[in-house]
Amino acid sequence: MDVEVLHIVKELKDETPDILDIPKNKKHEIAVNCVIKKIVYSMSKKVKIASFGIQFFLWIILTLFLLYFIYDPHASFLQQFIAALIVTAFTALPAYYSSKVLVPRLLYRKKIKKFIGVLLLVAFANTMLTYIFAGAFYYELSGKSIFRSISAIQYLFSFFFIINCVVIAVSSAIQIIIDRFGMEHQLHEVESEKVSTELAFLRAQINPHFLFNVLNTIYFQINKENSEARSSVEKLSEMLRYQLYECTTDMIDVTKELAYIENYVAVQKLRMEAGTNLQMKLPGDTCSFKIAPLLILPLVENAFKHISNYKDPSKNKLYIAIYIEQNSCFIVNVINTYNSLDHTEQLQKSKGLGLKNLERRLELLYPGKHSITRKRNESTYETTLKIQYGD
């Protein structure tokens, strides 16, 4: 976690020590929803290095075992060693396919029968390929055919098939164990981030009922003729209500998130000069898409923070486009002008805390299923967020 977050946690723990006593089952439920989607793609660097080391060691063991099995003292050692390497290389193909493709796509989705059936089919097909290519190579080197008799074919074919099955099973088991460690690490990260976020919100909230009461009082103190002021207070009240009461689940209907963004833009527009080129485009059909709350706000907030401040308001531009592509991709595109003379360019290069937290949340919530890009031109700055939400 960032130093700022740790500082907040420490202060709040001293002030409200009971707040960290979140029930374990609740934290587990929160974390599982964030992690279960293809956790294999978000393992830490150390876990990946350990995985490579273990598998490399097993391939060495398999090569030595095959060399011992086929060793003939009357034949060339180099030829037999190369033949063993060929068998190992062919065996590595289904092992990699099963651990990286079949395990996450079938086994993790509880398609056990299909998983076993595909594994046996892959092992059988690879055994035939291994037997044909290794046999042809061995014949070219030694002049001895492994197709000389039915009994030899049955024996070697059975041996290669068993080797394939064992290697596939071991490789899949290793992948499951590695994914398990990766999942536990990710669960810990999600729990820590969740607790820190809750503590930060608690500190900011103080007394939400007090804030609502104040807003209601201000609303009724405003003359009915002043409809614009009343509308602004209403929008602010809706924003507070969304943050405090709606954002209590891991996922929320995107229409609520978009309504929040609309209110935020409307409130920000009040403080902008008349004539500023502000445009916003929202999707008409959201396809019942759900999103983690408050993911769009940092991008829009950053654009308002760093928009240019030219004397001619029409030169100050801010475009917000949110849409959904047919390939189940949710896209947020924000473009704003900036003025390098006001040192806005340096601000754009530096990542604020809000954007850092956004990137961290995206890594935890949408591992391997999101991208965020930034593009700076001479006078505009563009940020694009893409989230894949299809299976």
Of 186, 209, 230, the domain-final residue: 186
In which band, very low, low, confident or very high, does the pLDDT at 353 lie, cut at 50, 70 and 90? low
Position 140 scores a pLDDT of 59
In a shared domain, residues 46 and 181: yes
| DSSP assignment string, 235-303 | HHHHHHHIIIIITTSS-EEHHHHHHHHHHHHHHHHHTSPTT-EEEEE--S--TT-EE-TTSSHHHHHHH
In a shared domain, residues 173 and 309: no
Of 186, 207, 224, the domain-final residue: 186
Position 203 scores a pLDDT of 53
Look over the chain and give the mean of its residue pLDDT values, rounded to a whole number.
Answer: 75
Contact 230, 222 (CB under 8 A): yes
Residue 244 lies in a domain: no
Q: What is the CATH number of the domain that holds 306?
A: 3.30.565.10
Range of the domain at 345: 275-388
Q: Residue length, the chain?
A: 391
Residue 233 lies in a domain: no
Residue 8 lies in a domain: no
Higher per-residue pLDDT: 221 or 21 = 221
Residue 352 lies in a domain: yes
Of 143, 170, 186, the domain-final residue: 186
In a shared domain, residues 44 and 181: yes
The total number of structural domains that make up the chain: 2
Residue 207 lies in a domain: no
Position 332 scores a pLDDT of 96
Does pLDDT of 133 surpass 70? yes
Position 7 scores a pLDDT of 43
In a shared domain, residues 144 and 279: no
Residue 267 lies in a domain: no
In a shared domain, residues 71 and 174: yes
Residue 199 lies in a domain: no
pLDDT one-digit tens code per residue, 165-201: 888 888 888 888 878 877 777 777 777 766 666 656 5
Give 70-75's long-range contacts (Cβ < 8 A, gap of 24+): 75/142, 75/144
Whole-number CA gyration radius for the chain:
30
Position 18 scores a pLDDT of 38
Residue 304 lies in a domain: yes
In a shared domain, residues 63 and 176: yes
